[in-house]
Amino acid sequence: MGKRRHGGKWGGGRALKRSRDVNGQQADPARFSKRTILKENEAFERYYKAQNLVPEAEWTEFMEAFRNDLPVVFRIAGLRSLAEDIGKCLEETYFSEVEKIVIDGNPVEPPKPLPWYPDRVAWQVDLSRKTLRKSEELNYFHKFLVRESEQGNITRQEAVSMIPPLLLDVHPSNNVLDMCAAPGSKTAQIIEMMHTRDGSVPTGVLVANDKDNKRCYMLVHQTKRLNSPSLVVLNEDASCIPNLCYDEKRKVPLAFDRILCDVPCSGDGTFRKNLELWRTWSVVNANGLHKLQARILRRGLEMLAVGGRLVYSTCSLNPIEDEAVVSSLLEQCQGAIELIDCSDSLPDLKRTPGVSTWKVQLKNGTMVSSFDDVPEDLKHSYPASLFPGSKNPELHLDRCWRVLPHHQNTGGFFIVAMRKVATLPWMRATKTEAEV
């Protein structure tokens, strides 16, 4: 999570690096200081209150969570048995020492496992990165985190960013595509899932793609410590990834069993770490990314094998980037794609269900609920796919997940898993499943 927009200096699935302010001007990151930023944005609060995603009784707590720094979270990396050994060592040798530390008269809580992450390999420390870096009492623990990160024993990764790979349900025999992969923390998770049987090489392959060439090098750096022979890195536009053929003579395109589609987004679930969003957030960013997100998801569904699973995710809470994208593709697919009921998965993760209705904010600030309500002179700027469709109640959008920051001290995130049950309607006349 926290990556940049798809293309140029923008990667896949993630918050803006350089966004525009409310007047549409490019924001200069050098202007922003953590000391001077006022953590208020009236436009954001007005917009999300109108969407009714957060109960009124929770609104103050919701905004207060966004104003607080994120806790430090890390995942024990490596293959399963190695991760278990490292975890045991960390608990017995290092974590017990943290309990002895006192800051401003208050004892520091030791790291605790994320309750919803399997096998006790993801841990949270209820301290901000700033406190961890600057506190003399925590210097020993900070050096430990830096050292273990450099050695590849742990991965610093935001908690909500760990959710999409868990819903993919990856097995060693699966062919997996990570469409917008850099910088690679989710890709590393998937590799670890594929290497579940120690000493054996997975029969499947993981293709990790990102459009930004420099970020692909970052992706390689992030994953090379796992030394997996099953990883292939691509440098392609996710919205038009070419077919990958495994039979050179017959030119048979590879259809993937699992696809992670963590798309570029406005990143308004990342206020806690991207402080410039307090000054620059505008609904224009989400409206502008909607078409790109839909194109990437469409291409992912085309490359998915019948019976395969795709997980779509963003670090945005905006229905325009979330349910609107999902519902528009479901309607295009005419029953060939269905949303998976994951209610039994990660039972200790607090989340809210997806919504079937939402509003679109126009340039003049007016909030409208349907395409018919858009003035004629503005309809060219607002495609019908931005709005709730008439079939939304039948699409089971409540199977989508939205993670809110105040529920478990995290960032904001959106996730949904879907299954391909038939060939896509626009591909039924073709000879092969993945050709376009």
Hey, is 279 helix, strand or coil?
helix
Select from 252, 236, 269 the least CA-distant residue to 407.
269
β 413-420/401-403 pair status: antiparallel
- Check: CB of residue 185 under 8 Å from CB of residue 13: no
SS3 per-residue string spanning 397-432: HHHCEEECHHHHCCCCEEEEEEEECCCCHHHCCCCC
Select from 309, 79, 82 the least CA-distant residue to 194.
79
The sign one gets for the Cα dihedral 298, 300, 303, 307 is negative
Name the CA radius of gyration of the chain, rounded: 22
Token code pair at residue 298? 């469409």
At 81, which amino acid appears? S
> Cα–Cα distance between 210 and 238 in angstroms, integer?
7
> Cα–Cα distance between 265 and 74 in angstroms, integer?
23
Provide the residue count of the chain: 436
* Residue ranges of E strands in 176-251: 176-178, 206-209, 231-234, 245-247
Helix ranges (DSSP H) in 76-160 = 80-90, 96-98, 129-134, 139-151
Residues identified as active-site: 315
Largest CA distance in the chain: 71
Token code pair at residue 46? 């007005």
- Check: CB of residue 359 under 8 Å from CB of residue 367: yes
> Cα–Cα distance between 182 and 223 in angstroms, integer?
10
Token code pair at residue 149? 């990160």
